[in-house]
């Protein structure tokens, strides 16, 4: 399903290339229709960024050449033109998928709430958070570490069935830290959405949680994004 630059640079047959790319884009859209956001969203972001850079450079070059003396087109230039035409065609399709993916991302992010239920401290590089997998009726307990380069590493350390009765924050905190009483940095990342956990809820929650940690951290802002 992944769309790469090779899909454009190796385009010998324009019609066949369009057909293959359209199939990949349809697969991306099917994933989004099922609210499975990742890795589709990241794939679309990556290829959009690469194509934008390539096409911007191409437009600058062609504008400069058009003001100079005309030269005879070689077969190599003709093949290159096919690749750029394919890129221009694909960009419109990619943008449509990307807009759908962004809408899902924003909706999920807006429906995730984060609160501290443990020790309130700006030294929050390591700790725990609980997050629900509503589709499978589970509460996941994750241990996290926040590195210097804005990368949030997580490891699932426990899980339990979600009860119909909401567990009080204090009980949830005590359950999480029972095996590690020295680290009482605990957060509850809550959502009522029942979207796919691994492909959607967890990756969006991690990005929102990372922003939350940095906003409430004693450290200087970091500039690299995972």
Residue 153's SS3 state is: strand
What pLDDT sits at residue 214?
A: 86
What pLDDT sits at residue 44?
A: 96
Domain boundaries, the chain: 6-110, 113-215
CA distances from 156 to 34, 105, 118, 133 (A): 25, 23, 18, 12
pLDDT at 220 over 70: no
Q: What is the pLDDT of residues 143-199, one digit of tens each?
A: 999 876 678 999 999 888 887 556 667 777 877 777 776 678 899 999 999 999 999
What pLDDT sits at residue 171?
A: 74
Token reading at 20: 């293959």
- Span 17-35, mean pLDDT? 93
Q: What is the pLDDT of residues 40-75, one digit of tens each?
A: 999 999 999 999 999 988 888 776 655 544 544 544
Q: What is the pLDDT of residues 85-130, one digit of tens each?
A: 889 999 999 999 999 999 999 999 999 999 998 877 778 889 999 9
pLDDT at 226 over 60: no
Task: Give, rounded to a whole angstrom, the gap between the first and last alpha carbons of the chain.
Answer: 22
What is the helix (H) or strand (E) element at residue 215, kind and residue range? helix 202-215
pLDDT at 22 over 80: yes
The rounded Cα 153 to chain-centroid distance in angstroms is 15
CA distances from 226 to 148, 153, 222 (A): 11, 10, 11
Q: What is the pLDDT of residues 198-217, one digit of tens each?
A: 999 999 999 999 999 988 87
What are the contacts of 204-208 at 24+ separation with CB within 8 A? 204/37, 204/105, 204/108, 204/109, 204/112, 205/112, 205/131, 206/152, 206/154, 207/109, 208/109, 208/112, 208/114
Give the DSSP letter string of 164-194.
Answer: SSPPPHHHHHHHHHTT-TT---EEEEE----
Question: What pTM does this model have?
Answer: 0.83
């Amino acid at each position: 399903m992944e769309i790469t630059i090779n899909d454009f640079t190796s385009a010998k047959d324009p019609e066949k290339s369009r057909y293959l790319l359209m199939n990949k884009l349809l697969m991306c859209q099917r994933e989004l229709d099922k609210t499975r956001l990742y890795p589709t969203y990241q794939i679309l972001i990556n290829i959009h960024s690469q194509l934008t850079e390539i096409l911007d450079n191409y437009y600058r070059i062609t504008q400069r050449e058009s003001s100079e003396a005309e030269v005879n087109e070689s077969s190599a230039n003709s093949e290159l033109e096919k690749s750029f035409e394919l890129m221009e065609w694909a960009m419109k399709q990619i943008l449509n998928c990307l807009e759908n993916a962004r809408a899902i991302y924003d909706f999920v992010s807006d429906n995730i709430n984060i609160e501290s239920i443990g020790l309130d401290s700006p030294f929050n590089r390591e700790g725990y958070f609980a997050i629900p997998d509503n589709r499978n009726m589970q509460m996941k307990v994750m241990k996290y570490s926040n590195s210097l380069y804005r990368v949030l590493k997580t490891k699932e350390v426990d899980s339990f069935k979600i009860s119909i009765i909401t567990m009080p924050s204090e009980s949830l905190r005590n359950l999480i830290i029972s095996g590690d009483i020295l680290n009482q940095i605990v957060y509850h990342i809550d959502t009522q959405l029942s979207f796919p956990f691994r492909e959607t809820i967890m990756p969006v929650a991690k990005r929102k949680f990372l922003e939350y940690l940095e906003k409430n951290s004693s450290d200087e802002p970091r500039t690299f994004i995972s």
